[in-house]
Structure 1
């Protein structure tokens, strides 16, 4: 893509620093190009590659410490362009050589197993941490990610007309003033991958854009998986097989998920509407209905919903330490909801919270027998259908998690999650899982 033309004065020293960074990065790429592919390197070659990468990353970090906001302003034509995460990193690769991986480098990586990649996404994490740390750039990026996606805007007329859409991994239907989002990945227990994140964001956008929708519910569909055939399952979290095969993206999955559809559920959709002068987002109350289990990313979702209903035979767990990755924004939200001790037991120790036990009520509002789930959902949607509910949820969310707190958390998450993706323990664990 063509990078936007600079409309802001160049910061002193920026051009010279950018040339020096490009030189250092080019030298690192030359070292890596002279070595065998990552999976074929011996111990000495791996150490040589690591030293070269560390040199380049140290230079990138110093460059971004000084110029992250200036870089972002250049890329967004002084904050007048709204570049979503994939567009932003692509523009940065073109405009600032050596700062982030190129489109070609990422395409080469995409065809490899996670264990056989060079780890270029770590440089994306380094860049996005610096952007999100900036009060100006970070706020602008999060606001950009709160805009409706092009896919949702394209599908909106059809949804308004029919009230139903099959998005692939999510089914969306409007019934009696409520949007029903059903996760439909029956073969993998609704384990999330890049595709499902895209479908979920589209469905969330449509539910928020439709004026005929006053509240929304998310539930898992019936499974074809042999162990749970015919049963509803909420979510098994991240798809570890996809992670092993190299198909889980830092930008398109891990960051888009948190700053995209989950943040839209929590804080609303930023659109131009009649009341935008006083409230620039459209918000609606959300209900989550947990059947069987909510694992990992599924459990993370519950932390932004206004009401959580769980079947009495279900459980919730966030096995982050066992999987080796950071569980999204769960580390930001779980302590507030469940307290420090319980959150450490869940995240660090892998504790399961069974719906029927007292501590589960820290995350669940209502526990019902499985055959009463439909009735409980209907009752909750009816209770939450009111304009005062929407205003009060906004104020509760603002008090519990100020936007600046979320921005700073996501800045560090971008870096730490990128490092975790390429850590030896995670690669070993997902490899054993897939085997």
Structure 2
């Protein structure tokens, strides 16, 4: 049983994971990250889970890393930090991951948001990378994913000043896909996840992988991957079902085959 997570069993193909460390505004201690990585790996293996929604509290999605824990680590501890492996496991989750964000998403919290594929934010959300104020820099992908998400000028401003941005600024910059009232963020994220869960699972997985390739490779390599994935899907049962359903004007019933 996780100590710092509340997990709802899959419903309509969607698993809901809630960060639950309210006394520390969901600060990402090593144990919490380990639990989250393990839970996502469990979701990866579970055929009943087709998408995952990740959220925190109304006050904070996650307010950053655990500063007390960081202060206890010397150079050897930093070099052998187990959190690095946990972050890699979280970032490699292959199924759709939707973040529902309210309140603070700072430091590691903002980096965790950027591991998600879709971000639904309440209008009160705040996103930032304040590590510079501690004499350090983001260490869980913040400098790399942030620049890819919002562009060089805003990423530079956020990282070098440590100042957060509003949910509306985050949406305008491309970090957030949709804004909603704070009390509706989780509900809306579940709706989006349920919509994805009704699609053909193989197509969803390959579509996500193809889109991620666009940020990791050159255009020619990305196009080759896209064409290969398109060809693979052409031979699936779900592709035939999708075309038949369209022709017969009925909902498709995909099997993941």
Q: TM-score range by the shorter chain?
A: 0.7 to 0.9
Q: Contact 1:197 / 1:253 at 8 angstroms: preserved in 2?
A: no
For the pair 1:179 / 2:15, whether they are aligned, the reply is yes
Q: Cα distance 1:369–1:359, how it changes in 2: closer, same or farther (>3 A)?
A: closer
Which residue is 1:290 aligned to? 101
1:358 & 1:370 partners in 2: Cα distance? 15
1:376 & 1:338 partners in 2: Cα distance? 23
2:48 & 2:19 partners in 1: Cα distance? 21
For the pair 1:244 / 2:71, whether they are aligned, the reply is yes
1:358 & 1:202 partners in 2: Cα distance? 29
1:296 & 1:316 partners in 2: Cα distance? 8
Q: Contact 2:14 / 2:190 at 8 angstroms: preserved in 1?
A: no
For the pair 1:167 / 2:2, whether they are aligned, the reply is yes
How many residue pairs get matched? 210
Q: Cα distance 1:380–1:398, how it changes in 2: closer, same or farther (>3 A)?
A: same
Q: Deviations over 1:389-423 (max 9, x none)?
A: 22111011122125xxxxxxxxxxxxxxxxxxxxx
Give TM-score, length-normalised by structure 2. 0.75
For the pair 1:213 / 2:49, whether they are aligned, the reply is yes
1:375 & 1:193 partners in 2: Cα distance? 27
Q: Cα distance 1:358–1:396, how it changes in 2: closer, same or farther (>3 A)?
A: closer
1:179 & 1:358 partners in 2: Cα distance? 26
* Moved segments of 4+, more than 6 Å: none
- Bigger Cα Rg: 1
* 1:344-363 equivalences in 2 (<5 Å): 344-357=156-169, 360-363=172-175
Give TM-score, length-normalised by structure 1. 0.46
List alignment gaps of at least 5 residues for structure 2. Answer: 218-257
List alignment gaps of at least 5 residues for structure 1. Answer: 1-165, 222-230, 266-282, 403-435
Q: Deviations over 1:92-129 (max 9, x none)?
A: xxxxxxxxxxxxxxxxxxxxxxxxxxxxxxxxxxxxxx
Per-residue deviation, 1:260: 2.5
Say which structure, 1 or 2, has more relative contact order (CA 8 Å, 6+ apart): 2
1:253 & 1:238 partners in 2: Cα distance? 13
Q: Which has the higher strand share?
A: 2
Q: Contact 1:353 / 1:359 at 8 angstroms: preserved in 2?
A: no
Which residue is 1:255 aligned to? 84
2:167 & 2:78 partners in 1: Cα distance? 32
Which residue is 1:316 aligned to? 127
Q: Contact 2:55 / 2:186 at 8 angstroms: preserved in 1?
A: no
Which residue is 1:204 aligned to? 40
Q: Which has the higher helix share?
A: 1
Per-residue deviation, 1:359: 5.7
